[in-house]
Amino acid sequence: MRSAYGVGRDWPISYDELEPYYCRAEEAMGVAGPNDPLLQSPSERSKPYPMDMVPWSYGDKRFAEVVNAHGYRSVPIPQARSTRPWKGRPTCCGNNNCQPICPIGAMYNAIHSVQEAETLGAHVLAESVVYKIDTDENNRVTAVHWYDNQHQSHKVTAKTFVIACNSLESPRLLLAAANERNPGGIANSSDQVGRNMMDHSGFHCFFQSPEPLWIGRGPAQSSCLVGPRDGAFRSEYSANKIILNNITQVTSATSVALKKGLVGPALDAEIRRLTTHGVDLSISLEPLPDPKNRITLSKTRVDPHGIPCPDVYYDVGDYVHKGYDAAVKQLEDIGRIFNATDFHVTTALNANNHIMGGSIMGSDPKDSVVDGNCRAHDHTNLWIPGGGAIPSASVVNSTLTMAALGIKAADDISKSLRA
Ligand code: SF4
């Protein structure tokens, strides 16, 4: 972002270095995506998706037909939902219940990886909270101390340590574990731990289409407009991702129809009309890493173990607000293409919980926490992989990048253990 657009930060690794790890992360999580290059974004792939795409519903197909005819590019979203039996997971049956959890286990979640790791010999200690980190005269980590659920303290020593609690809990632990040699916190000689917090601020656009789209069959989200993701404008305002939300609209339609005072068959008919014709677009914006957006340790609040809770300061910033204005113009155009009625765009930005930053990656140890392998600049045997390391957030959900960085870190750890 810094080299190409003069804003934000650069990655210390290239896309080509990371791309094979994306493929490995897709394999690990069982991702289904389009194997037709015309439907891919990006299409520069070294391997096909492990499974072919989740079939589009009628609404996805019709939406793409309408907007793509006007220069937009709506393509399938790769997603970790099985389209064939996959490592014990059944095939997605498209019943639209993906949030908060897939009831049949067709969708990936981290439990699958934990179970796989346990099968390979990992020992998972539930309800165990690390609070202290020991370092030696070379600033190598020598031990971590943790509390069990009875507040009994334990200690483990090792050659190699990984802190992978993502963007809130990793920085909180690193700051809370400050010791004599690291008075500002572990891995924090740059003073960047806890800084550069990011999330994809989001908003929604709702309208009624003159023709029914029958949203609500298939997974919760399957298609996305990829055109507004990149361009020279990124030096001035944020890119955006526009997703066609495929979550059934029966609940919101019912609430609107009831407010109209309808009852009986008229109520049924209105719920049906609103549900079948309703369109909900979910938009995400790209934040810039800003050192002022940060986590610090609370001076007034502690958790039940007495460890300070995180305080968060977060200012969305002009870059994102200007990106919102640009996205609204695109949405108004889409509304015109559809001859939409009841068109409205939400004004309050919502969190998307794609938490990034806090242990940012960079090539300069003076202004970053980890290197391109997520190894701490300050401690040669400590890795801090995951979303915390991401130096530019783009507009796309952060999970695949977090997993790819985790696998890249694992390769580096493996290499260092064999050295
Ligand atoms: S649609 Fe969602 S909830 Fe239903 S099977 Fe597929 S992934 Fe699971």
Contact 200, 192 (CB under 8 A): no
Minimal-distance CA residue to ligand 1 atom 5:
92
- φ, ψ of residue 43 in degrees (nearest 5): -95, -5
What pLDDT score was predicted for residue 222? 93
Please report the pLDDT score of residue 228 as a whole number: 83
Predicted confidence band at 129 (pLDDT cuts at 50, 70, 90)?
very high
Give CA torsion, residues 357, 326, 22, 375, to 10 deg.
Answer: -20
Centroid of ligand 1 to alpha carbon of 98 (angstroms): 5
281 C-alpha vs ligand 1 centroid, how far in Å? 20
| Residue tagged active-site, from 200, 354, 377, 379 | 354
DSSP 138: T
pTM of the predicted model, to two decimals? Answer: 0.95
Is residue 419 pLDDT above 90, yes or no?
no
Q: pLDDT tens digits, residue range 360-405?
A: 999 999 999 999 999 999 999 999 999 999 999 999 999 999 999 9
pLDDT digits (tens, 9 = 90+) for 243-281: 999 999 999 999 999 999 999 999 999 999 999 999 999
**Structure tokens that stand for 346 in this block:** 């939400």
Residue 166 near residue 402 (C-beta atoms within 8 A): yes
Residue 72 in contact with residue 225, Cβ under 8 Å? yes
pLDDT digits (tens, 9 = 90+) for 161-200: 999 999 999 999 999 999 999 999 999 999 999 999 999 9
Q: Is the CB of 9 under 6 A from ligand 1?
A: no
Residues 6+ apart with CB under 8 A from 42: none
SS3 106: coil
Clarify whether 354 is annotated catalytic: yes
Q: How many residues does the chain have?
A: 419
Tokens 């550069």 sit on residue: 196
What is the structure's pLDDT at 42? 87
Among 54, 57, 83, 92, say which to mutate for ligand 1: greatest number of ligand atoms within 8 Å of CB.
Answer: 92
Residue that has been written with the tokens 């002009």 in this structure: 318
The domain segmentation of the chain, as residue ranges, is 31-107+200-292+318-352
Kindly report, residue by residue over 132-170, the tens digit of the pLDDT.
999 999 999 999 999 999 999 999 999 999 999 999 999
CATH of domain 31-107+200-292+318-352: 3.30.410
Segment 21-41 shows an average pLDDT of 95
Residue of 354, 281, 360, 288 whose CA lies nearest to 321: 288
pLDDT score recorded for residue 44? 87
Measured from the CB, is residue 93 less than 6 Å from ligand 1? yes
CA distance linking residue 123 with residue 114, whole number of Å: 10
C-alpha pair distances (Å), 240 with each of 203, 269, 318, 398: 11, 36, 14, 14
3-state secondary structure of 267: helix
**Predicted local distance difference test score (pLDDT) of residue 12:** 98
CA distance 207 to 342: 5
- Per-residue model confidence (pLDDT) at position 100: 82
Q: What is the structure's pLDDT at 174?
A: 98
**3-class DSSP assignment, residue 269:** helix
Mutation probe of ligand 1 site: the residue of 57, 96, 107, 109 with most atoms within 8 A of C-beta? 107
Q: Do the Cβ atoms of 189 and 135 come closer than 8 Å?
A: no
| Res 401: pLDDT | 97
Q: Is 270 left (phi over 0), alpha (psi -120 to 50) or beta?
A: alpha
pLDDT above 90 for 101:
no
pLDDT in tens, 34-66: 999 999 988 889 999 999 999 999 999 999 999
Q: Exposed, middle or buried: residue 361 (CB in 10 Å: 0-12, 13-18, 19+)?
A: buried
Q: How would you label 314-340 residue by residue, b for 16+ Cβ within 10 Å and e otherwise? A: bebbebbeebbebbbebbeebbeebeb
Span 110-128, mean pLDDT?
A: 94
93 CA closest ligand 1 atom index: 5
What pLDDT does 349 receive? 96
Helices (H), 151-263: 166-176, 250-259
Q: Is 209 a residue whose pLDDT tops 90?
A: yes
Q: Is the CB of 247 under 6 A from ligand 1?
A: no
pLDDT above 90: percentage of residues in the chain: 95
Residue corresponding to tokens 């009875």:
150
